[in-house]
A and B are shown apart, each in its own frame.
Chain A
C-alpha cells in the first residue's frame, strides 16, 4: 500500500552486499536492480535532469564495483547508497561547472520535492482542507529543512544516518528538524483557527 516507505532493510540486503564485495557479477545485477528505483527517486531531488540522475547512479555502482575490495562489509545499505549518491551527484555537477569553465556560484544545493494529496484517502471536506494546507507548508520549506523531514519521515532514517547523508553534525540534524516541525505545527494550527473562525462567522 505504501510503496515509498521502506521501514527496514530487506533481510537479504546484507547477503547481497557481501556477494557484491566478493566480486559476484550476479550480485552486481541484483543490487542494482533492487536499489535503482529508490535511488532514482532520491537523486531526482537534486536534479531535474533525469538522464543525469540515471548516469550518476550508474557511475556510483561502477565506482563501488571498482573499489569493492576496499569497501566495508557491514554497511546499512540504504543510507550508505543514498549518502554516496548524494555526494557523487554534488561532485559531478561541481566538476561539470569547472570543466565547462563556468563560474562556480556556490549556491545552496537544491532539494526539489513536491508533496501532493491523494484525495481518496480523505473522508471529510474539512480534513481535505487541512491536508492541502499542510501540503503547501511542506512544499514551501527551505531545502535543508525539507530534506531532513524527507529523510526522517519518508525514508525513516535515524539521526546519525541523516547526519552522515547530509554531511552535517547530528546536532544540526536535530536543530533543523525541530525548526521545521515547529514551523509546520504552529502555522498549521494558525490556519486551523482561521479556518474554524471563518466557518463560524460565515
Chain B
C-alpha cells in the first residue's frame, strides 16, 4: 500500500482498489484501509474527500418501470413459444428425410448449385457492388426491386404480401423480415396487398410519410419529384403519420393503429412543403361489401335518410346527415349503375340538398322537405 502515500484526491478517485473499498467493501478492505489511515493520518482528509466524491458521482440513468420489462418479456415469450410449436411439427419429418438416399443425392446437387451461385454472386458483386455481404443474416440482406419496364411489376415479399409496383418505381426490403416488424421503403407508386399478421405490423416508408397496417390493401404514391404523397385504402384500415411526428416511435411500436386512421375509400394527401395532411375520399370509391351482399339501389318512396344509410354502408363511408330532417323526404330512384358521386348528386337533387366531403366523410346539408 506504499504507493498511496503520495496519492492526491484525483489519484484515489480513479484507483480501482480504493473504489471497491468505498462502494462495496469486504471485511479485508475495511481492516486494511483502517490500519493504513492510522499509519498515515496526514492522508485522512484526502481520503475522506475522495471517498465522498466516489460515492456522490453517479450516472444518470433513464427510468424504466418494472411493468415495461414484464411487457417485453411476455411478448418475447409468446414469440418463442410460437416458433417452438412450429419446430415441433416439422422436426420428425426432416429427420427421416435426412437419412434417405434421395436426400443425399439432392443435397449434393444443392451444394453444387450453391457453389455455382456463390461463384456467380462473387463475380457479380465485383461488378455491381450490392448490399449483400457474405455471412450477413437474411434479416439484414437488403433487396431492391426496380421496375424499369413500362408495365406494372408484381413483387412477392417474404411474408407473402404482394406489391404491384408501377413503372419507374422501386422498393426496398430485407430478405427475411424480423420477428417484430415488416418494413418496406417505396419510391414512386405501388399497390400493396398485405398478408395478415397481427404480431408484425407492416410499414411503408415513402418520402416523409409512414403508413402502418396489420393486413389490408392500399395504394401509395410517393414520387420524389412531386409535391404530394398520397395513400388510398382499398380494404381494411391503415394508419398514416409523418416521419417528423414527435411521437413517431410509439406509433411505430404499438400494436394499435394510431394517428390518422384511414378506412376503405379514404385517401390522405400529404403536402410536402406545408407538412400538412388532408384526409378525403378516393376519386372513384368502390363498394366494399362482398359481391353476394351487394344491395340494389332501387328506392321506391322511402325516406332519403334510409337511402343515404344504405349507400354509406355499401361503400364503407360515413355519410353524415340530419336524420330528423331527411326522414320526411320521400325518395324514388334507381341508382345501380352510377358511380358514387353521381348517386349522391341525383339523391341530393331530388331532396334539394347539397353534399360535401370533409375529412374523408360525406356530409349532407338539407333544409328538409316540409
Q: Smallest CB–CB gap between A183 and chain B, Å?
A: 11
Given that A65-B80, A98-B142 are known contacts, is A185 also in contact with B14, CB under 8 Å in the complex? yes
Is A37 interfacial (CB-CB < 8 Å)?
Answer: yes
Q: Which residues of A contact B11 (CB under 8 A)?
A: 185
Q: Which residues of B contact A61 (CB under 8 A)?
A: 76
Interface-side segment among B150-158, B179-187, B266-274, B303-311: B179-187
Is B57 interfacial (CB-CB < 8 Å)?
Answer: yes
Is B286 interfacial (CB-CB < 8 Å)?
Answer: no
Contact between A99 and B56, CB atoms less than 8 A apart: no
Q: Which residues of A contact B20 (CB under 8 A)?
A: 7
Interface-side segment among A74-82, A109-117, A162-170: A109-117
Complex CA distance for A127 and B13, rounded to whole angstroms: 13
Q: Smallest CB–CB gap between B308 and chain A, Å?
A: 43
Q: Which of A36, A126, A150 has the most CB of B within 10 A?
A: A36
Contact between B253 and A150, CB atoms less than 8 A apart: no
Q: Smallest CB–CB gap between A70 and chain B, Å?
A: 13
Contact between A36 and B59, CB atoms less than 8 A apart: no
Complex CA distance for A188 and B9, rounded to whole angstroms: 10
- Select from chain B the residue with minimum beta-carbon distance to A123: B52
Q: Which of B55, B58, B180, B185 has the most CB of A within 10 A?
A: B58
Is B249 interfacial (CB-CB < 8 Å)?
Answer: yes
Contact between A62 and B179, CB atoms less than 8 A apart: yes
Contact between A99 and B8, CB atoms less than 8 A apart: no
Picked from B14, B79, B185, the residue with its CB within 8 Å of the CB of A153 is B14
Given that A7-B24, A99-B173, A188-B10 are known contacts, is A58 also in contact with B56, CB under 8 Å in the complex? no
Contact between B62 and A4, CB atoms less than 8 A apart: no
Given contacts A49-B249, A127-B49, 7 further A-B contacts (CB under 8 A): A40-B64, A57-B72, A59-B180, A65-B80, A101-B172, A113-B59, A127-B48
A residues apposed to B, CB below 8 Å: 1-2, 4-5, 7, 25, 28-29, 32-33, 36-37, 40-41, 44, 49-52, 54-55, 57-59, 61-62, 65-66, 91, 95, 98-101, 113-119, 121-124, 126-127, 130-131, 134-135, 138, 150, 153-154, 156, 181, 184-185, 188-189
22 contacts between A and B (CB under 8 A): A2-B55, A5-B23, A7-B20, A29-B77, A33-B69, A36-B73, A51-B253, A58-B72, A66-B83, A95-B142, A99-B142, A100-B205, A113-B60, A114-B59, A116-B58, A118-B58, A123-B48, A127-B48, A127-B52, A131-B56, A188-B10, A189-B8
B residues apposed to A, CB below 8 Å: 8-11, 13-14, 16, 19-20, 23-24, 48-49, 52-53, 55-62, 64, 68-69, 72-73, 75-77, 79-81, 83-84, 131, 140, 142, 172-174, 178-180, 183, 185, 187, 205, 249-250, 252-253
